[in-house]
């Protein structure tokens, strides 16, 4: 549910303060100011300027009981002809393992604040059917009845945690703050984390086959509490947050509470929440592990997910890179109460939100088909998170399958990856690396002819582990390749390889009939020397893996 975003003037200023700016605008780089003779751009990686370790949690996912995400996306049922592992779609599990997901958020989104976790436990055939939060949405109003409108609760806490275990991810549960009590919240923690034999609730979990506690660490306390999560004021929400998180038994698990943070640029929500939370006791800041920010870049004008003009391409990419100033704005707002930055951001919903019309099934509310444009948005955004690895503790792309900015599309026995999946797979090489300040000396894409200001000529991020350097670069230009000289300060490149995701058609996307239409390709890289020159194709996402000598 989007909100009014920042004025353009503020954005342009903050974008320059951020990562992918003209190098001439950066202080302290006098030694680099010899303009490259051969290449039109220069990328300088600075190993002696570490930013922070790139947590794999920056590459998290989000799954909600909405449209085709859970039913038919993740959950097909044990008796389904679709290959499954205990009811969970096998193709999804196999592909998720390839991208090494570290965390998945569930069950919403707005749905979370109407969800009673007790509906989703116990024998599946005895679970109640409930009206889904999203039933009133216009996109579902005229759709046939089904699990999208009346949730059978076949997929509950045990099934979700099994899904997480199958793919090697940590669960992040979003608790209901609008329509459930703080007791419901701490009892959900008990159901998940208390050892079997300790309480009635932990015995109920064990009776379902899960003797070992789930050890759930991440707990969201409400969702969009300024909107669908209760229409609270920041002061009211701070009071509720204090009540929900007070004295929750942890069963030996270091609980990490994530507060329902702002929509994009709403710094007022952040400032007032932080001030009110701590008005009597500064120590209460310690209750907060992450401050959840949501930001979607939306399609405006006539275009939708597949059918868009070149101007639409630039307009949406320019909206996507606003993520960087938004992070900086929220970070500054948090500092007013938390100058030492004990709390970091959790961007637990992000992605492109297009107009309806490309969903693979009419009941898949907010379902959309992702193209190369969405792949570039994924690359630009993940690079922003890498560049701010010191500020962002977690991020969750919305949503995993059959929805906004999805990595997968599925319908019955059909399944395909989207271009977004390939970006996540390429960028997994950054997980656990040390993010390094990287200076992109490249002119911004010219404004005009429908193009918005603020879109860099090239953008990216770099990370280092030992002698292995990963550099990811997005070329947002729809038509022009860009050559760049790449240098690593104080080191030379011994060898390297390159993988690139590109297409001649900016609208290219995968379908059930053509699941390999968009796929990355490996290429050769000429190395040896203090720097190397690489040509980044138009409208592409590139990963360079370099071994330093």
So which residues are the catalytic ones? 224, 349
Pick 223 or 245: Cβ nearer ligand AHR: 223
Pick 113 or 383: Cβ nearer ligand AHR: 113
Q: What sign results for the dihedral spanned by CA atoms 323, 369, 164, 461? A: negative
Q: How far is the CB of 389 from ligand AHR (least distance, A)?
A: 24
Query: Which of 110, 106, 8 lies closest to 401 in space, CA to CA?
Result: 106
Pick 399 or 475: Cβ nearer ligand AHR: 399
Q: How far is the CB of 109 from ligand AHR (least distance, A)?
A: 3
Q: How far is the CB of 474 from ligand AHR (least distance, A)?
A: 24
Pick 223 or 386: Cβ nearer ligand AHR: 223
Q: How many CB atoms lie within 10 A of CB 4?
A: 9
| 486 touches 522 (CB < 8 A) | no
| 209 touches 149 (CB < 8 A) | no
For 39-95, give the secondary structure using H, E and C: CCEEEEEEEEEEEEECCHHHHEEECCCCCCCCECCCECCCCCCCCEECCEEHHHHHH
Q: What sign results for the dihedral spanned by CA atoms 335, 398, 60, 539? A: negative
Nearest residue to ligand AHR on Cβ basis: 109
CA 479 – CA 207 distance, rounded (Å): 59
CA 111 – CA 64 distance, rounded (Å): 7
Q: How far is the CB of 223 from ligand AHR (least distance, A)?
A: 5
Pick 327 or 404: Cβ nearer ligand AHR: 404
Contacts of 246 (CB under 8 A, 6+ apart): 182
Q: How far is the CB of 305 from ligand AHR (least distance, A)?
A: 15
CA 19 – CA 533 distance, rounded (Å): 21
Helix (H, G, I), strand (E, B) or coil at 23: helix
Residues in contact with ligand AHR by the rule CB under 6 A = 1, 64, 108-110, 223-224, 349, 398-399, 404
Q: Phi and psi of 488, rounded to 5°?
A: -115, 115
Q: How far is the CB of 179 from ligand AHR (least distance, A)?
A: 15
Give the CB-side neighbour count of residue 344, counting CA atoms within 13 A: 15
Pick 109 or 419: Cβ nearer ligand AHR: 109
Q: How far is the CB of 257 from ligand AHR (least distance, A)?
A: 17
CA 543 – CA 497 distance, rounded (Å): 8
CA 225 – CA 171 distance, rounded (Å): 21
């Amino acid at each position: 549910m989007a909100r009014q975003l920042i004025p353009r003037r503020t954005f342009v200023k903050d974008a320059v303060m951020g990562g992918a700016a003209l190098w001439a605008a950066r202080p302290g780089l006098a030694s680099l100011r010899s303009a490259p003779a051969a290449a039109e751009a220069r990328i300088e990686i600075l190993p002696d300027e570490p930013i922070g370790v790139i947590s794999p949690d920056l590459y998290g996912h989000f799954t909600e009981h909405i449209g085709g995400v859970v039913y038919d996306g993740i959950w097909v049922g044990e008796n389904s002809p679709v290959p499954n592992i205990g009811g969970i779609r096998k193709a999804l599990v196999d592909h998720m393992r390839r991208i090494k997901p570290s965390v998945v958020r569930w069950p919403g989104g707005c749905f979370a604040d109407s969800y009673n976790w007790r509906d989703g436990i116990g024998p599946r055939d005895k679970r109640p059917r409930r009206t889904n939060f999203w039933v009133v949405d216009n996109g579902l109003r005229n759709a046939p009845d089904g699990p999208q409108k009346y949730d059978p609760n076949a997929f509950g806490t045990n099934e979700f945690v099994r899904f997480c275990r199958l793919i090697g991810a940590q669960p992040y549960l979003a608790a209901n703050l609008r329509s459930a009590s703080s007791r419901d919240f701490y009892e959900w923690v008990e159901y998940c984390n208390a050892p079997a034999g300790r309480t009635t609730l932990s015995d109920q979990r064990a009776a379902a086959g899960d003797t070992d506690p789930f050890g759930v660490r991440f707990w969201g306390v409400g969702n969009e509490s300024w909107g669908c999560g209760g229409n609270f004021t920041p002061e009211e929400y701070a009071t509720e947050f204090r009540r929900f998180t007070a004295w929750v038994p942890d069963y030996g698990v270091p609980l990490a509470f994530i507060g329902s943070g702002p929509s994009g640029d709403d710094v007022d929500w952040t400032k007032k929440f932080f001030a009110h939370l701590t008005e009597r006791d500064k120590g209460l800041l310690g209750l907060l592990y992450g401050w959840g920010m949501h930001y979607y870049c939306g399609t405006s004008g006539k275009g939708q997910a597949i059918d868009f003009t070149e101007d639409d391409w630039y307009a949406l990419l320019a909206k996507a890179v606003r993520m960087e100033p938004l992070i900086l704005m929220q970070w500054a707002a948090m500092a007013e109460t938390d100058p030492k930055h004990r709390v970091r951001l959790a961007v637990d919903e992000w992605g492109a939100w297009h107009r309806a019309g490309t969903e693979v099934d009419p009941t898949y509310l907010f379902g959309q088909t992702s193209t190369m444009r969405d792949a570039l948005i994924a690359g630009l955004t993940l690079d922003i998170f890498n560049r701010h690895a010191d500020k962002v503790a977690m991020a969750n792309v919305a949503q995993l399958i059959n929805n906004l900015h999805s990595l997968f599309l599925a319908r019955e026995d059909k399944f395909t990856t989207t271009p977004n999946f390939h970006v996540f797979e390429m960028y997994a090489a950054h997980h656990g690396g040390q993010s390094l300040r990287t200076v992109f000396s490249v002119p911004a894409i010219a404004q005009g002819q429908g193009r918005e200001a603020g879109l860099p000529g090239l953008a990216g991020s770099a990370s280092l582990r030992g002698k292995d350097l990963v550099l990811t670069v997005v070329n947002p230009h729809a038509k022009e390749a860009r050559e760049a000289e790449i240098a690593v300060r104080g080191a030379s490149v011994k060898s390297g390889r390159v993988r690139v995701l590109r297409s001649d058609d900016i609208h290219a996307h995968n379908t059930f009939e053509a699941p390999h239409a968009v796929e990355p390709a490996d290429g050769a890289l000429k190395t040896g020397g203090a720097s190397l020159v690489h040509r980044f194709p138009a409208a592409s996402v590139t990963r360079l893996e370099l071994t330093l000598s």
